[in-house]
Amino acid sequence: MKRFGIRGAILDFIADPQEQAKAWRYFDDGLLVVGDGRVELLDSAAKHIDSLKDQLPVFEYPDCLICPGFIDTHVHYAQTRIIGSPAPGLLEWLDTYTFPEELRFQDPEYAALVADEFLDECLRNGTTTGQVYPTVHEDSADEFFAAAHRRGLRMVAGKVLMDRHAPQGLLDGEDSGEAGTERLIEKWHGKGRQSYSITLRFAGTSTRRQMELCRRLVDRYPNLLFHTHLSETLAEIDWTLGLFPDCSDYLSVYEKYGVVSNHSVFAHCIHLSESEQQRLADAGASAALCPTSNLFLGSGLAPIKRLADQKIKLSLGTDVGGGTSFSMLQTMHEMYKVAQLGEQGVGPFDLFYLATLGGARALHLDQHVGNFDQGKEADFVVLDAGGSNLSQQKFDRAGSVAERLFAYIILGGTHSVRETWSLGRRVWQRDSE
Ligand SMILES: [Zn+2]
């Protein structure tokens, strides 16, 4: 199917609603025309439907909302099978569940199996792009890229760098960090829709030697993303500063090794000092907020409004398996509640922005995906009430677009995703399952 139309209520963003009043485009009866996998037109259906309906098939979605595919900027595919594993906090959770599971990814067949399960789960939830952690094993990244490439999905990943404070089978050897990373960049960065992110677990599981290696990689590949964790729990911060006593705060560990730039994405960013927030903003770095994970592991409440006011680039991550859902709607829901407990000021447009164009901007992919500008790749999701009478009555009663979006955020989830499309192909259809 080379050229077709999609008709229904359509929403996308052209700017950050925190920065600009009219940041979104909404058509109650909209038309999206897709040709060769890319967006040709977004407009009201009334203007075009008479002239176009004889020229191309038009799929009608009354009572649905169509928006750009969700972008999950921080998620661990290797933790898919340990979702919902209880622990008192992050460090205990890593030792008890995460590291034993990640050890299994030294087997490429296991990695390939879970990569497919993970991608199925993403599509079932309307997520078309993710920035993804495999494990330290080169094959685990290779298998992930291969699975995403076969499906034509736009994904970002990178072999995890770590060389201490984990079981032996999860540690890089003398050369595997650098050589493995370079082989994977060579093989996958820019191949089809794949891109590489230089990926460090976090400062605590890397020696100074490996932090220096990160600096070399970031210097050598300045256009690649750098992805890690920052300031997730208070215990982690204490531990990290004990390991790097010459650094005055957590962010300064990463600054010392030259990895903080406008291409860095830091997951969590919960307990940052005023100074760290300012320095992140000055560097143009971005924060991937992961509320379901933060609540589940008891890590803390990300100060989303304060980070936004500091002009730090923000996006949302599920952080599965610390996170408890693949659904970006559920992630928005928890983010909303976290904001309610903090400084509030976060509404449904902000949250849909963060899960679409905000994510694309954080990953420097907004020239390809994130909204329905002409020429962009046609990744989109069709949402509906998912068979829920409660949701349907709420949508029927919604007097404004904001109220309707809010109902998706609060009552929605996996069941709300009727279809997911990637590069103009339908890659998930709920009712055919
Ligand atoms: Zn994480």
- For residue range 100-114, what is the model confidence (pLDDT) as tens digits? 999 999 999 999 999
Compute the distance from residue 19 Cα to the ligand 1 centre, in Å.
Answer: 28
Tell me how far the alpha carbon of residue 227 lies from the centroid of ligand 1, in angstroms. Answer: 10
At residue 175, the pLDDT reads 83
* Res. 345 pLDDT band, cuts 50 70 90: confident
Predicted pLDDT of residue 263: 98
Give 190 Cα–ligand 1 centroid separation in angstroms.
24
Is it the case that residue 1 has pLDDT exceeding 80?
no
The whole-number pLDDT of residue 407 equals 96
Instruction: Report the C-alpha gap between 290 and 231 in whole angstroms.
Output: 12
The full set of domains in the chain, from first to last, is 3-69+371-432 (2.30.40.10), 70-362 (3.20.20.140)
Give residue 140's pLDDT.
Answer: 98
294-304 residue pLDDT tens: 999 999 999 99
The model's pTM: 0.98
Expressed in percent and rounded to 5, the helix, strand and coil fractions of the chain are: 45, 25, 35
Percent of the chain surpassing pLDDT 70 = 100
What is the predicted pLDDT for the residue at 357? 98
Q: Does pLDDT of 83 surpass 80?
A: yes
Task: Calculate how far, in angstroms, residue 348's C-alpha sits from the geometric centre of ligand 1.
Answer: 24
Ligand 1 centroid – CA 306 distance (Å): 22
Once rounded to an integer, what is the mean pLDDT over residues 305-312?
96
Say whether pLDDT at 433 is over 80. no
In this prediction, residue 166 carries a pLDDT of: 95
CA of 271 to the centre of ligand 1 (A): 15
- The CA 365 to ligand 1 mean position distance, Å, reads 20
| Dihedral over Cα of 78, 84, 85, 86: its sign | positive
The Cα–Cα gap between 9 and 30 comes to 5
Residue 406 exposure: Cα atoms within 13 Å on the Cβ side: 13
Cα 73 to Cα 194: distance, rounded to the nearest angstrom = 14
Give, in order, the Cα–Cα distances in Å from 3 to each of 55, 244, 308, 377, 383: 9, 56, 39, 13, 22
Q: What is the pLDDT of residues 122-169, one digit of tens each?
A: 999 999 999 999 999 999 999 999 999 999 999 999 999 999 999 999
